[in-house]
Chain A
Amino acid sequence: MGEQLLQLLFTGLTLGSIYSIIALTLVTTFNVTGILNLAQGEFVVIGALLAVSLQGTGMPIIAVFIVSVILVAILGGLLERLTIYRARGASNLSMLIITIGLSISLRGLALLIWGTETYSLPAFSEGGSKIVGGAALNPQSIWIFALVAVTLTGLYGFLGHTFWGKAVKASVYNQTGARLQGINLNTISFLAFVAAGGLGAAAGVSIAPITMVTYDMGFMLGVKGFVAAAIGGLSNVGGAVIGGILLGILESFSSGLISSGLKDAISMIILLGVLLFRPEGIIGAIRERKI
């Protein structure tokens, strides 16, 4: 029994790390631009599918990872310039519908290029699972934990020690104040979408060896990201990361111990519960720091 619980914990932590990264990009774009990006899940899927194609050409997996992150980052920036930038000043609802439209188009594009097949990627490193405390730990999970650690360290370094990072931070705290200081919010919005694309792709390429990829899994991934972000209060990067990991563990335990069909229902119930009874997020303690 103890081993089984530990096994479920490992699965949950792995899945939760991916949700964390998605939630983190959602929270960042939301705070900088006021847009809930429903196309975020599509970035994840396109990143993973691109990696599958690149891997087919015989590139080493590290190069595959880097190239698909860069390509999807470019895609994110491009889409921001083509749509969000052009519609700046539109109502929140219009923006939401624009991201829904983007997500529909990207899903169609993925279907066009990759079809309905299920793809898989080889793990980043060779070798079988390690046995930790009687439960098997997939080496890919360790890569994913490392990705989260690197992302968080990188993000804190960027926000705390670079000019652009401080500009992003300032626009999250107070948009009007940031603009008065001469920060161009359009550039910040562009940066946020580039980062959202890149990080989304990184998450997608990392999870692909474990879960397999199909063109249509983006929507649910995006929604899970929202649940994680909502647990953290939608305006809190740290909260989003913790929210993602909590969600992953909860899902893993509920599908392992109760029923896998209800896995998605549980995250929806959590989202509704949080929104209705604690709209400031469960992790309210670290709320005063937005980023």
Chain B
Amino acid sequence: MNERHGYKMKLKNHRGFILLLLLLIIPLVAESNYLYSTLVIIGLYAIIVQGLGILMGYAGQVSFGHAAFFGLGGYTAAILTTRFHWPTLLALFASAILPGIIAGLIGRQTLKLRELYLALATLSFGILVHIFFNEGGELTGGPSGMSGIPNLSIGSFEFDSDQKFYMLVWLVLLMLLIGIYNLVHSRTGRALCSIRESEYAAENAGIDCARLKLQAFVFSALLAGLAGGLYAFYVTFISPSPFSFHTSVQFVLMAVIGGLGTFWGPVIGAVVVVALNELLREIVPLLIPGAGGEYQIIIYGVILVGLMIFQPKGLSGIGQYFRIPLKKQLKTDVKIRG
């Protein structure tokens, strides 16, 4: 039974990887910069939400401050390349490492807090970092930000087009997916799940919860920083506004909408939220002539509330109603809840 289940899962995910490879090939045929740039953004968000998914979905710890790590990564890359003229690749590494170090420093104390208190603490960390971007003066360029970030280059190869950047981002995401697939099916992955279910039980089973939670936190910060660095090299301009509390909320939404603790959840969440934003921008003015961004915001909020009321486990859960017989569904229900 177990063997068969495991086999099935693998098969399903192989299918998924083929889907991703298709995504890598599609743009070779299509030629639309709008499509590329949307896909780059989706890819960057998916990288962040993958990390957040490990933290929230597996280790069960909430963070409303990941836009801060995203921004710290972006600003690290921007400052190192424009002010200190580091090679771009080295700056990209630094943009992942620095948020990781900061997460390591604040993590041990912060992760002692539970649920809503943790949410509040990460939220205030995010706001604090956002204020720092705005008030950083010379260092961060203040509210108007800084421009002139060079293109990312490896050796003599320069990522100077949307298409090349798209390939890079989705390649990173693909490698990340494979790594995360292995991680969640390893001893560490099961240990993380046990923390989510019950910290006391996990401690009794000999799991060092504090250490593991910290590792998950640092890992998610590294990924957010990496995505931030990539973002800075992609748009070659950086300002505080994309790294506000609302971005943090969007990341949590993506993780929750996709389905916490599911393999494909983060990617689905990133696609759905970005697509929803784009669709609302396109469709709302057609339905209500003369409507501005206000309607978009209202509908966005309403969809959010509705989703939490009617489908709190996220979109990955919807498939269960159709495919899996009741007996099995009850079992997965028990597994997902947390």
**Which residues of A line the B interface, CB within 8 A?**
36, 83, 86-87, 90-98, 100-109, 111-112, 219, 223, 226-227, 230, 234, 261-262, 264-265, 268-269, 271-272, 275-276, 279
Contact = CB atoms under 8 A, between A and B. Distances in A.
Nearest to A102: B305
Interface stretch (B122-130, B156-164, B223-231): B122-130
8 contacts: A96-B116, A104-B297, A105-B298, A108-B298, A109-B294, A109-B298, A111-B293, A223-B127
Contacts of A226: 120
B123 A223 contact: yes
Contacts of B183: none
A224 B110 CA distance: 20
Nearest to A92: B115
A94 B308 contact: yes
Contacts of B242: none
Interface stretch (B40-48, B245-253, B266-274): B245-253
Q: Is the interface of B mostly helix, strand, loop or mixed?
A: helix
Interface string B286-326: 00000001111110111111001100100000000000000
B294 A108 contact: yes
A272 B312 contact: no
B308 A98 contact: yes
B117 A279 contact: yes
B113 interface: yes
B301 A105 contact: yes
Given A262-B135, A264-B127, A36 B121 contact: no
A204 to B, nearest CB: 20
B131 A107 contact: no
Contacts of B124: 223, 227, 268, 271-272, 275
Given A90-B312, A105-B305, A107-B297, 4 more contacts: A83-B309, A87-B308, A223-B124, A272-B124
B309 A276 contact: no
B116 A92 contact: yes
Contact of B305 (A36, A98, A107, A230): A98
Interface residues of B, number: 40
A262 B136 CA distance: 11
B252 A97 contact: yes
Contacts of A272: 121, 124-125, 128
B171 interface: no
Given A105-B297, A105-B305, A268 B113 contact: no
B232 interface: no
Contact of B135 (A97, A261, A269): A261
B109 interface: yes
Contacts of A94: 256, 308, 312
Contacts of A112: 294-295, 298
Contacts of B121: 271-272, 275-276
A52 B100 CA distance: 47
Nearest to B126: A268
Contacts of B127: 223, 264, 268
Point out which of B124, B127, B245 has the most chain A C-beta atoms below 10 A from its C-beta.
Answer: B124
B119 interface: yes
